[in-house]
Amino acid sequence: MSSPAITDAPLTEADVQRIRADFPILQTEVNGHPLVYLDSGATSQRPLAVLDAERDFVTTLNSAVHRGAHTLAAEATEVFEDARGTVARFIGADDDEIVWTSNATEAINLVAYAFSNASVGRGGPEAERFRLSEGDEIVTTEMEHHANLMPWQELAARTGATLRVIPLDDDGALRLDEMQISERTKIVAVTHVSNVLGVITPLAPIVAAAREVGALVLLDACQSAPHLPLDVRALDVDFAVLSGHKMLGPTGIGALYGRRELLAAMPPFLTGGSMITTVTTTSAAYLPPPQRFEAGTQKVSQAVALAAAIDYLSAVGMPRIAAHEAVLGQRLVDGLAAIDGVRVLGAGIELPRVGLASFDVPGIHSHDVGQFLDDRGIAVRVGHHCAQPLHRRLGVTASTRASTYLYSTEAEVDAFLDGVRSTIEFFGVRS
3-state secondary structure of 287: coil
Residue 147 vs 333, nearer CB to ligand PLP: 147
Site string for ligand PLP, 335-374 (x = CB under 6 A): ----------------------------------------
According to CB under 6 A, which one of 40, 45, 77, 103 is a site residue for ligand PLP?
103
According to CB under 6 A, which one of 44, 105, 366, 423 is a site residue for ligand PLP?
105
Q: Cα–Cα distances in Å, from 116 out to 120, 155, 191, 245, 266?
A: 9, 7, 22, 29, 10
Residue 148 vs 358, nearer CB to ligand PLP: 148
Q: Cα–Cα distances in Å, from 386 out to 195, 381, 397?
A: 9, 11, 11
- d(CA 53, CA 210) in angstroms, rounded, equals 40
Q: Is 147 in the site for ligand PLP (CB under 6 A)?
A: yes
Helices (H), 339-387: 366-375
222 carries an active-site annotation: no
Range 182-201, binding ligand PLP (CB under 6 A)? 191, 195
Least Å from the CB of residue 189 to ligand PLP: 10
3-state secondary structure of 382: strand
Q: Cα–Cα distances in Å, from 341 out to 64, 279, 379, 417, 424?
A: 56, 64, 21, 13, 8
Q: Cα–Cα distances in Å, from 73 out to 30, 68, 78?
A: 42, 5, 9
Amino acid at residue number 13: E
Residue 76 vs 189, nearer CB to ligand PLP: 189
Which member of 61, 328, 364, 386 is catalytic? 386
Least Å from the CB of residue 241 to ligand PLP: 7
Range 249-278, binding ligand PLP (CB under 6 A)? 254
Residue 257 parent element (H or E): strand 254-258
CB-based contact 261:286 (threshold 8 Å)? no
Residue 203 falls in which region: left (phi positive, over 0), alpha (psi -120 to 50) or beta: alpha
CB-based contact 173:346 (threshold 8 Å)? yes
- d(CA 310, CA 308) in angstroms, rounded, equals 5
According to CB under 6 A, which one of 45, 119, 140, 148 is a site residue for ligand PLP?
148
Residue 402 vs 415, nearer CB to ligand PLP: 402
3-state secondary structure of 42: coil
Residue 140 vs 291, nearer CB to ligand PLP: 140
Q: Is 404 in the site for ligand PLP (CB under 6 A)?
A: no
According to CB under 6 A, which one of 97, 126, 142, 220 is a site residue for ligand PLP?
220
Least Å from the CB of residue 408 to ligand PLP: 17
Taking CB under 6 A as the binding criterion, the range among 50-58, 112-120, 140-148, 149-157 that sits at the site for ligand PLP is 140-148
- The site that binds ligand PLP (CB under 6 A) totals a number of residues, namely 14
Taking CB under 6 A as the binding criterion, the range among 142-150, 208-216, 411-419, 421-429 that sits at the site for ligand PLP is 142-150
Residue 34 vs 252, nearer CB to ligand PLP: 252
Q: Is 298 in the site for ligand PLP (CB under 6 A)?
A: no
Q: Cα dihedral sign for 128, 130, 135, 141?
A: positive
* Helix 71-91 / helix 300-316 crossing angle, nearest 10 deg: 40
Taking CB under 6 A as the binding criterion, the range among 71-79, 144-152, 165-173, 283-291 that sits at the site for ligand PLP is 144-152
Helix and strand counts by DSSP (H, E) for the chain: 13, 17
Taking CB under 6 A as the binding criterion, the range among 8-16, 102-110, 114-122, 266-274 that sits at the site for ligand PLP is 102-110
Contact residues toward ligand PLP (CB under 6 A) are: 103-105, 145, 147-148, 191, 195, 220, 222-223, 243, 254, 386
Q: Which residues are catalytic?
A: 386
